[in-house]
Amino acid sequence: MCSPPPEPEPARRYLQADQPDGVPPLELTGERTLPDVPEENYWFRRHLAVYEWISPRVAGMRVADLACGEGYGSDLLAASAAEVVGIDANPEAHEHARARYVRPNLRFERDLVENVAGPYDAVVFLQTVEHIEAVPALLAAIARAAPLAFVSTPNRLTLAPPGAERSDNPWHLREYTLAELRRELEPAFGSVEIHGLFHAGKLAVHERALALGWDRVHSLLRITGPFYDRFTAAISAADFALRTGAEADLDRALDFVAVCRA
């Protein structure tokens, strides 16, 4: 398994820091990742890396960003797309996104992702299929709404304990292996190309250090807290890389990112 830095302690309350005037901060609940929460930076950058990879691939397009959450991804896509609509059912996330991210080609709608209807040129649907009960119906709706879709989800083999059906994330209804994800996607789309997200940069170095016994060393030196406070804050989107084909062992990926064409 690929070990990330320790997750934020669930018993503590984490709110976004330093929000612009008039923008209500969101609380970290585990249902969605957030920027501006230092303890959450690893997971935020892990998501952001995929949005950054998608952004040039939707340049000039009309895009729907389903389950857009806080809105940072929709805003990033709008820097290259012709038009972006961020769709999310959560009222607090919707109001936050509308207040924080303002561009002439960006708008936010409060709605269920299951109600997606085009026409769009592309649909972006990241880290959410694992939250959905009626997956085949939603994927069919996405395929009708746009000829191109980007769908990402965690790899169960690196997120959950060995042999477990899913991790302990209470928001996840199901988590997928590579083969299981293909079986979900292929009936809805004419072609499916799956990439894997992996640690790179300082996170790849951290992985190698863990393999050499770093967990025991920082514990013995009693520097776990100070080290990870600094290390986690320094993680950037460049510390993740998307790979596919012969260069990647996708069973070891952190997340799967599928490029689907209707």
Length, in residues, of the chain:
262
Cβ atoms < 10 Å from Cβ of 167: 15
Is residue 224 situated within a structural domain? no
Q: For the segment 107-126, what is each residue's pLDDT rounded down to a tens digit?
A: 999 999 999 998 999 999 99
What letter would DSSP give residue 233? H
Please report whether residue 113 resides in a domain: yes
CATH code (residue 84): 3.40.50.150
Task: Say what angle helices 178-185 and 135-145 make with each other, to 10 degrees.
Answer: 60
Tell me, yes or no, whether 122 lies in a domain: yes
Residues 244-251, mean pLDDT to the nearest whole number: 81
- Assign 97 to helix, strand or coil: helix
Q: Which residues contact 104 (CB under 8 A, 6 or more apart)?
A: none
**Residue 4 falls within a domain, yes or no?**
no
- In the structure, what pLDDT confidence band is assigned to residue 253 with cuts at 50, 70 and 90? very high
pLDDT of 193 higher than 70: yes
pLDDT band at residue 221 using 50, 70 and 90 as cut-offs: confident
In a domain, 205, yes or no: no
Task: State the residue for tokens 């929709």.
Answer: 74
Q: What's the pLDDT tens digit per position in 19-48?
A: 999 999 999 998 899 999 999 999 999 999
Give mean pLDDT, residues 178-188: 97
125 is a domain residue = yes
Most confident of 69-83, 217-231, 244-258: 69-83
**Is residue 179 over pLDDT 90?**
yes
Structure confidence by residue, pLDDT tens digits, 5-21:
666 555 578 999 999 99
| Section 192-221 average pLDDT | 94
**Residue-level pLDDT at 5:** 65
| Domain hosting residue 117, numbered range | 38-198+243-261
- Structural domains of the chain, count: 1
Q: 75 lies in a domain? A: yes
d(CA 89, CA 67): 7
pLDDT value, residue 2: 59
